[in-house]
Amino acid sequence: MAVELKETIDKRREEIMDACERLYESMGFHAITIKNISTETSFSRPSIYNYFQTKEEIFLGLLTREYMKWNDALRSVIGRKAIMDKDALARALAKSMEERKTLLKVSAMNLYEIEENSRDELLVEYKRTFKESIELFDECLKKHLGVSAEKSEQIRYVFFPYMYGIYPYAYPTAKQISAMDEVKLSHRDVTIYEMTYQFLKLIL
């Protein structure tokens, strides 16, 4: 009975997070409300509060889910039988990051506010998943490149802060582009994959 209840709760939380993610594709973080999210689900607005106390908690759940998906991709890289060289590993990690657009967007745009307005237990759950990402990233470097723990930490402390800046460069707004054009600031179209791959090539 308890297992069935947990499955039901998890399914409903997933539906709410799915709705939030769809809205986030076309709306800004501050424009999205619990009411907006409820119209995209089978729940009323009061019902959503049974699963998330704030909008920020929905986004935190979404971010936690994104890291869980990335962790699965990192495990796949670790699980490859053939040992990869630096270029192949950079490409594999770039591919895993390319599929995590929502992760990059939330991390770059709204992470502080989301963490500040979420319950401690949910923040701990997110940090636990994030810690696993760090450990799996390190394991990728150790497995394929034989990188020491000290070197792996150095690479990580460069890559993860860089990672948070990828989304704004890959998806500048029309207003930002217009302003850059006005002052003749050069810019070019780049993808998440390209930014990740080129940077990892430099630091691995």
Question: Considering 17, 36, 52, which residue would you say is the last residue of a domain?
Answer: 52
Cβ neighbourhood burial of 99 (10 Å; 0-12, 13-18, 19+): middle
Judgement on whether residues 124 and 171 belong to the same structural domain of the protein = yes
Where do we find the tokens 């070197």? 151
| CATH number of the domain where residue 10 is located | 1.10.10.60
| CATH number of the domain where residue 112 is located | 1.10.357.10
pLDDT score at 43: 85
Judgement on whether residues 22 and 90 belong to the same structural domain of the protein = no
Judgement on whether residues 61 and 48 belong to the same structural domain of the protein = no
pLDDT score at 155: 98
Judgement on whether residues 80 and 141 belong to the same structural domain of the protein = yes
Judgement on whether residues 186 and 88 belong to the same structural domain of the protein = yes
pLDDT score at 2: 63
Contact yes or no for 127/135 (Cβ under 8 A): no
Contact yes or no for 163/107 (Cβ under 8 A): yes
Judgement on whether residues 46 and 115 belong to the same structural domain of the protein = no
Nearest CA-CA partner of 88 in 141, 135, 137: 141
pLDDT score at 9: 87
Domain extent, residue 86, equals 57-203
Q: How many structural domains is the chain composed of?
A: 2
CA angle at 18 for the pair 21 and 197, rounded to the nearest 5°? 50
Judgement on whether residues 167 and 193 belong to the same structural domain of the protein = yes
Judgement on whether residues 91 and 13 belong to the same structural domain of the protein = no
Judgement on whether residues 193 and 107 belong to the same structural domain of the protein = yes
Q: Is 73 helix (H, G, I), strand (E, B) or coil?
A: helix
Question: Considering 28, 52, 76, which residue would you say is the last residue of a domain?
Answer: 52
Judgement on whether residues 89 and 67 belong to the same structural domain of the protein = yes
* pLDDT tens for the chain, residues 1 to 204: 466 588 888 999 999 999 999 999 999 999 999 999 999 998 888 999 999 999 999 999 999 999 999 999 999 999 999 999 999 999 999 999 999 999 999 999 999 999 999 999 999 999 999 999 999 999 999 999 999 999 999 999 999 999 999 999 999 999 999 999 999 999 889 999 999 999 999 999
pLDDT score at 8: 87
Sequence-distant (≥ 6) Cβ neighbours of residue 141 within 8 angstroms: 89, 147, 151, 152, 155, 204
Judgement on whether residues 115 and 96 belong to the same structural domain of the protein = yes
Judgement on whether residues 43 and 69 belong to the same structural domain of the protein = no
